[in-house]
Amino acid sequence: MQNKFIIIGVFFLSLLGNAQQINISGKITDRQTQEALMGVNVFDQTQNKGTVTDITGHFSLTNCQPNDKIIVSFLGYKSLEFKASDVPAVISLTAKPDQLDKVVITAGGERQRRKDVPISITQISAKELEETKPITLEEVLNKTPGVMMVDLGNEQHSMSIRQPISYKSVFLYLEDGIPIRATGVFNHNALIEINHAALKKIEIIRGPYSAIYGSGAIGGAINFITKEPSATPQYQVYAMGNNVGYRKIGASASGSFNKTGVFAAIDYSGRRNGYREHSDYDKKSAFVKMNNQLSKKTYLKTAINYIDYKTDMTGGLDSLYFYGQDYTSQYRFTYRKVQALRYYTQLISNLTDEHQVKASIFARYNVVGQNPHYRIKDDYKPWTGTGDPHLAHGEINENKFYSVGTILEDTYKLKKWRITKGVSVDYSPNSYYAKYIRIHKTDDAIYDSYQETDSLKTDYKVNLLNIGVYANVAYKVSPALKLLASARLDNINYDYKNNLGSAAFSGAPDSNNFFNAFTPKFGAVYQVNNDLSFYVNYSKGFRPPEVGELYRGVKVPVLEPVYYDNYEGGSWISLFDKKLILDLSYYVLKAENEIISVKLDDGSRVNQNVAQTTHKGFEFGVQYFATKELSLKVDGAVSTHKFDVYTPKGHDYSGNEMPGAPKLIMSSELKYHPSFLKGAYAGLEWFHVDPYYMDEANTQKYEGYDVFNLRMGKQFKQFKVWLNILNLTDKLYATAASKSAWGTSYRPGEKRSFNLGVSYSFK
């Protein structure tokens, strides 16, 4: 009988224990963006068991005791602890403010702490984007070390990263790790095709990274990382405008339901009646991303991005117009139109804890049509005194391509090793035509009208095929020392068909041009402690001649690829209990056989492999947190860009500085987040550019400039308002200045503008 009572007692005690067990579940989000976070560790420390969130941010743990200690942790975020009975339905994680603990993706395709990768990489966070509210991307990109994106008006631009101000294909632009354009059809205005409403953060790698991404990643690679769906339904509408004709409106919706998350955004921006004549533009954008959790270990991401853009092309001003602040347009009919559609689907499967496979397919459709001011050439030649001063000629052209491609990756993560093997295939048929036009020029140097002709200057099609295989190996020698080796082999084929005869401006015969390249990269990072890391690397970059360089305006295509060797060392340092953060790097970048646009005797230009160049620089990023409210950020580069050997047409420019190469570029920002006014901020920015030569002969310099901006904003529950005063002192400056046989040309920077915006967010 006594045994029966014992058994019954144990039975009821077990029932009581089971009755106390609870199941916990919820969703985990980023506090700043409200996005669902995938891969967050949710660990029951008491019972030594755990799980991770899926792509919608959802997690669940069963059979927990109410007092169990639950730890929520994720790389780059502050960890949280809860009692099992107190776990909320939605958990918001806060990103760590320490720059060294920032998590980057672009360096190797997976989440890594910035201080663990031996390269120069900078991240522009979601918070920085939100508080900057940029009209154009240089407002945020120019806040990073060694980056100078040059504003050419209405989102048109050129770039300078470890290079002079350049229109060449030495920069690679990616969206979620996939190049936004095909090899061979680079456009220096490619960032027009970025959808601002879809941006979550931006990562910038400085220096050649061809070992992973292939052609074009020479001066740098910029990866625009798009927003993810939120864990719970979120909606936003916004509007912005300024006193110089700019307007912007947009809306977004986001949420996750069962195993599917969706984010969608539409956006319109444009300008009417700005301070410059002939400077109107319109840009319409749409973006959709959908994430699906297919199984416990497999998920799918799909995104579609569309851009429709048209702008008047104002061009530069000669010195008389520029310094006289006469913004009458010298071009009355020039324009640029862009239509860009991009799609990708990415399947990621974690076959085991150590083995992941990733398969991406992508497609692009892109058309750029224009009547460009930079193709206008006067009939009158000042160096000979011949020609009609009222006659000029130009062209109407269209460059179109579509792409289909795939990127396949296989990654093993072992105790000390991480090995990634990949293959990429990009097939991109490209067509180009240009029609000759006659242009009338007034006595006041205004190009006021044109007449179309039946004469085609260029009409060709090129089938581009780029096949690349690559490998990336990381080995952890010790807790402090990590080695990295990467290599890529590219095979690029241009199958060229000319629709015109040999007498045409572009009269090259039908041909197949092949370019092969092997590009290695080696690096090491040594972490002395949590506050000090050193790194070194060597990398090789390459770029084949662009289609336009190889075939446009030539009879025989003779250009060869350009190779670059980069030697680099740097350090990341945190001092005074993380109050002072230093990001330092020094590089030497050498180019052989560089393609230069050489001016001929008649004033025209032709591309030739004629130069050897050296680029050296010290890049720095300094961040000082004086208090929790007040911080100072200073970023910049001291650099030189020189011709080692360059003797075009009998002129010896060897040893000269390259044009468009300021010795110092620097940005600084003083930011204030008052504790007595929650949700408010104010920031004062200063951007400095040193003088630089305007021509290869080093005969004339542009004086450089300093520009100040003031940004303020305040969150009022669901409303946010902001005011950005750009060019605070109303400084007259040129974002780019050059000299040619026809004279000097200046691209005027924006006059002072007051940019007022408001957004409303709701659930």
Mean pLDDT of the chain: 91
Looking at residue 377, its pLDDT comes to: 87
Lowest mean pLDDT among 316-320, 381-385, 734-738: 381-385
Query: What whole-number distance in Å separates Cα of residue 130 and Cα of residue 561?
Result: 40
Query: What whole-number distance in Å separates Cα of residue 541 and Cα of residue 591?
Result: 9
Over range 647-665, report the average pLDDT. Answer: 91
Is a pLDDT exceeding 90 seen at residue 526? yes
Is a pLDDT exceeding 60 seen at residue 318? yes
Q: How confident is the model at residue 20 (pLDDT cuts 50, 70, 90)?
A: confident
User: Structurally, what CATH architecture does the domain formed by 2-93 represent?
Assistant: Sandwich (2.60)
Structure-model confidence comparison of residues 20 and 341, the more confident one: 341
The residue whose two tokens read 């993560």 is 413
Task: Give the pLDDT confidence of 220-238 residue by residue, as tens digits.
Answer: 999 999 999 999 999 999 9
Query: What whole-number distance in Å separates Cα of residue 468 and Cα of residue 465?
Result: 10
Looking at residue 19, its pLDDT comes to: 54
Residue 684 makes CB contacts below 8 A (sequence gap 6+) with 669, 670, 708, 709, 710
The residue whose two tokens read 């007034």 is 442
Looking at residue 101, its pLDDT comes to: 64
Alpha carbon of residue 61 to chain centroid: 39
Query: What whole-number distance in Å separates Cα of residue 664 and Cα of residue 119?
Result: 22
User: Model-level pTM?
Assistant: 0.93
Q: How confident is the model at residue 16 (pLDDT cuts 50, 70, 90)?
A: very low
Over range 561-584, report the average pLDDT. Answer: 92
Is a pLDDT exceeding 70 seen at residue 605? no
- As a three-state string, the secondary structure of 308-367 is EEEEECCCCECHHHHHCCCCCCCECCCEEEEEEEEEEEEEEEECCCCEEEEEEEEEEEEE
In the chain, where does the domain assigned CATH 2.60.40.1120 lie?
Answer: 2-93
Percent of the chain with pLDDT over 90: 71
Q: What residues form DSSP beta bridges with 442?
A: none
Token output for 677: 């006014």
Task: Give the pLDDT confidence of 259-290 residue by residue, as tens digits.
Answer: 999 999 999 999 999 889 999 999 999 999 99
Q: What residues form DSSP beta bridges with 249?
A: 239, 268
Token output for 232: 């719970």
Q: How confident is the model at residue 430 (pLDDT cuts 50, 70, 90)?
A: very high
Q: How many residues are recorded in the chain?
A: 763
Secondary element (H or E) of residue 547: helix 547-551
Query: What whole-number distance in Å separates Cα of residue 693 and Cα of residue 243?
Result: 34
Is a pLDDT exceeding 50 seen at residue 454? yes
Lowest mean pLDDT among 142-156, 378-392, 655-669: 378-392
The residue whose two tokens read 């500085």 is 657
Is a pLDDT exceeding 90 seen at residue 359? yes
Looking at residue 216, its pLDDT comes to: 82
Is a pLDDT exceeding 70 seen at residue 599? no
Q: What number of CA atoms fall less than 13 Å from residue 681's CA on the CB side?
A: 22
Quickly list DSSP for 209-222.
-HHHH-TT-SSEEE
Is a pLDDT exceeding 90 seen at residue 117? no
- As a three-state string, the secondary structure of 474-505 is EEECCCCEEEEEEEEEEEEEEEEEECCCCCCC
Quick check: helix, strand or coil at residue 519? strand
How many of the other CB atoms lie within 10 Å of CB of 252?
21
Is a pLDDT exceeding 70 seen at residue 99? no
Over range 439-463, report the average pLDDT. Answer: 92
Token output for 634: 């200073």
Task: Give the pLDDT confidence of 38-60 residue by residue, as tens digits.
Answer: 989 999 999 999 999 999 999 99
Residue 382 makes CB contacts below 8 A (sequence gap 6+) with 741, 742, 743
Over range 622-634, report the average pLDDT. Answer: 94
Q: How confident is the model at residue 3 (pLDDT cuts 50, 70, 90)?
A: low
Over range 436-451, report the average pLDDT. Answer: 91
Quick check: helix, strand or coil at residue 57? coil
Over range 25-34, report the average pLDDT. Answer: 89
Secondary element (H or E) of residue 441: strand 417-441
Residue 52 makes CB contacts below 8 A (sequence gap 6+) with 38, 39, 40, 41, 42, 59
Query: What whole-number distance in Å separates Cα of residue 96 and Cα of residue 581?
Result: 14
How many of the other CB atoms lie within 10 Å of CB of 351?
11
Token output for 723: 């005011």
Q: How confident is the model at residue 13 (pLDDT cuts 50, 70, 90)?
A: very low
CA nearest neighbour of 732 among 711, 753, 749? 749
E-only strand ranges, 242-313: 246-257, 260-271, 281-293, 298-312
Q: How confident is the model at residue 556 (pLDDT cuts 50, 70, 90)?
A: confident
Quick check: helix, strand or coil at residue 143? coil
Q: What number of CA atoms fall less than 13 Å from residue 693's CA on the CB side?
A: 15
Structure-model confidence comparison of residues 24 and 741, the more confident one: 24
Is a pLDDT exceeding 80 seen at residue 550? yes
User: Structurally, what CATH architecture does the domain formed by 222-762 represent?
Assistant: Beta Barrel (2.40)
Instruction: Check: CB of residue 297 under 8 Å from CB of residue 348.
Output: no
Q: Which is it for strands 220-226 and 664-672: parallel, antiparallel or unpaired?
A: unpaired
Task: Give the pLDDT confidence of 660-709 residue by residue, as tens digits.
Answer: 999 999 999 999 999 999 999 999 999 999 999 999 999 999 999 999 99
Lowest mean pLDDT among 107-116, 370-379, 668-677: 107-116
Task: Give the pLDDT confidence of 507-518 residue by residue, as tens digits.
Answer: 889 999 999 999
Q: Using alpha carbons only, what angle is made at residue 648 by residues 644 and 654, rounded to the nearest 5 degrees?
A: 20
In the chain, where does the domain assigned CATH 2.40.170.20 lie?
Answer: 222-762
Cα torsion through 318, 320, 326, 327, rounded to 10 = 0
Looking at residue 502, its pLDDT comes to: 86
Token output for 509: 């015969």
